[in-house]
Amino acid sequence: MIRIGNILVSKGEGGVYGERMLEGYRVWDPYRSKLAALYLVGTGIDLIPGMKVLYLGAANGTTVSHVADYVEVVYAVEFAPRPMQDLLEVARRRTNVIPIMADASRPEQYAPLVEAVDLLYQDVAQPDQAAIALANCAFLKPGGHLILMLKTRSVDIRKEPAEIFRDTLDILISAGITVRESTWLAPYHQDHAAIVCTR
Ligand code: SAM
């Protein structure tokens, strides 16, 4: 990952959401992107040229655009019409972003459009985040990686975030997924955790 001092950046054509430019690079703000936060508080998975990524919960393409600066192709799944409009604009200027309007909990909807990927990245605020991730692991190449951004409050608002975190790890491990790293994303995102796995 490219850093200038301790600032995470990506190399891409022009700004996408009014982000700062630094020495010709786009500053990747950890307060706006959980993936940027992960690279600052933990290790994550390096984004490299040639990598294919399936991105669930693309929203308006803020983080997608940075990922696309590093990798070969990003299949970006989003189900809400409003953010999809912005995502389409990002895809118009970045030909390696393939926008897909679909429900990430129904991978059969987009299976014909997606090839096997090196990285599955998920950032959907849903109660069944682990189940959605597991259903989409079918797209991973052997040895491919999953980064699950867990919004604990969306799983169950009545439970402690730490309990949700533990339960989610248990679900993934029971399904045979190898967890490489798990970390909270504070101070950038409260009650959010990142779980990095290998299939
Ligand atoms: N990853 C984005 C970023 O860093 O720029 C932010 C994602 S936002 C927290 C979560 C997004 O997931 C929302 O845009 C929401 O519409 C989308 N989403 C939630 N559930 C989904 C589902 N089942 N399928 C597809 N998109 C979903």
Kindly provide the ipTM of the predicted complex, given to two decimals.
0.99
Q: Is 185 in the pocket of ligand 1 (CB under 6 A)?
A: no
Which residues pair with residue 53 across a beta bridge? 74, 119
3-state class (DSSP) for residue 146: strand
Q: What percent of the chain has pLDDT over 70?
A: 100
Q: Annotation-wise, does 59 bind a ligand?
A: no
C-alpha to C-alpha distances, 109 to 101, 112, 150, nearest whole angstrom: 9, 8, 23
Does residue 140 surpass a pLDDT of 90?
Answer: yes
Does 83 contact ligand 1 (Cβ within 6 A)? yes
90 token code pair: 């990002």
Sequence-distant (6+) residues with CB within 8 A of 125 are 57, 151, 154
Q: Which domains does the chain have, with CATH numbers?
A: 30-198 (3.40.50.150)
Residue 15 pLDDT > 90: no
63 is in an annotated binding site: yes
In the chain, the percentage of residues whose pLDDT exceeds 90 is 93
The pLDDT, as a whole number, for residue 14 is 74
pLDDT tens for 16-54 read: 899 999 999 999 999 999 999 999 999 999 999 999 999
- How much distance in Å is there from the Cα of 12 to the middle of ligand 1? 23
**Which whole number is the average pLDDT over 141-157?**
94
Q: What mean pLDDT is reported for the chain?
A: 96
Q: How many Cβ atoms are within 10 Å of 94's Cβ, its own excluded?
A: 21
Question: Which H or E run contains 70?
Answer: helix 62-70
Do residues 98 and 75 touch, judged by C-beta distance below 8 A? yes
- State whether the beta carbon of 147 lies less than 6 angstroms from ligand 1: no
Residues with Cβ < 8 Å from 69, sequence gap 6 or more?
Answer: 10, 11, 12, 26
